[in-house]
A and B are shown apart, each in its own frame.
Chain A
């Protein structure tokens, strides 16, 4: 039982390049989330999904797209990376979004955009 895994762990991009971050969970969780963590800002929600085939915007969605084609995977895409997207990205999952919303986090992806 690996829990929540993220690939890659580190990545350096040039401005304008694109990339996809992959999140996978093996806990059969319905809900999945993408957060970014920046110094002095805490963790902020980018996008989330309440089930396979669904996605919704969080607090800071601009510049990102997501897809949830399979229940166990949640992809975060950057179409044209900008230096402002330099951050640590965390994926999380939970069984549901209301009562008992205990979220389990992956180890993070450190992204630098030059």
Chain B
């Protein structure tokens, strides 16, 4: 059974710092990996989708990498801002239809 783990569970950084969020998964037979952002009391916003054949995806200050063989993905946030404060979730897509989610990393960026 696929298990998705995100470390750390919480992270606090000062504004301007570059940071990395980690996601690991136990079964490398995935179709894709998706990173989401969730603000308190809100829904999920898709940030980046990496297909299994891809190594990375970039959107603005965000860069997500995927190493399927080792079961790891990272989300790199450059020059963090207070507006980046949120919970970041990673989820893997496998055969069938459901995404399997990690429990998230709650990021706090102080000004």
A106 — which chain B residues lie within 8 A by C-beta?
Answer: 43
Verify if A74 is at the interface (C-beta below 8 Å from B). Answer: no
Give Cα A67 to B43, complex, Å.
22
| A-B residue pairs in contact (CB < 8 Å), sample of 18 | A33-B98, A42-B101, A42-B102, A42-B104, A43-B91, A43-B99, A59-B98, A92-B99, A94-B97, A97-B96, A99-B52, A101-B31, A101-B32, A101-B93, A102-B49, A104-B46, A105-B46, A107-B42
Verify if B44 is at the interface (C-beta below 8 Å from A). Answer: yes
A108→B43 contact, CB < 8 A: yes
Taking the closest CB of chain A, its distance from the CB of B93, in whole angstroms, is 4
Taking the closest CB of chain B, its distance from the CB of A55, in whole angstroms, is 12
Instruction: Give A72-111 interface residues, CB cut-off 8 Å to B.
Output: 90, 92, 94, 97-108
B43→A90 contact, CB < 8 A: yes
Q: Given A41-B103, A102-B34, A102-B49, A97 and B97 touching (CB < 8 A)?
A: yes
- With both beta carbons as reference points, the residue of chain B lying nearest to A56 in the complex is identified as B97
B44 — which chain A residues lie within 8 A by C-beta?
Answer: 90, 92, 105
Instruction: Give B89-109 interface residues, CB cut-off 8 Å to A.
Output: 89, 91, 93, 95-99, 101-104
Task: Tell me whether chain B's interface is mostly helix, strand or loop, or mixed.
Answer: strand
Verify if B63 is at the interface (C-beta below 8 Å from A). Answer: no
Instruction: Give A34-65 interface residues, CB cut-off 8 Å to B.
Output: 40-45, 48, 50, 58-59
Q: Given A90-B43, A90-B44, A108-B43, A98 and B95 touching (CB < 8 A)?
A: yes
A103→B43 contact, CB < 8 A: no
Instruction: Give B2-36 interface residues, CB cut-off 8 Å to A.
Output: 31-32, 34, 36
B81 — which chain A residues lie within 8 A by C-beta?
Answer: none
A90 — which chain B residues lie within 8 A by C-beta?
Answer: 43-44
- With both beta carbons as reference points, the residue of chain B lying nearest to A39 in the complex is identified as B103
Partner of A48, one of B46, B93, B97: B97
Give Cα A31 to B99, complex, Å.
12
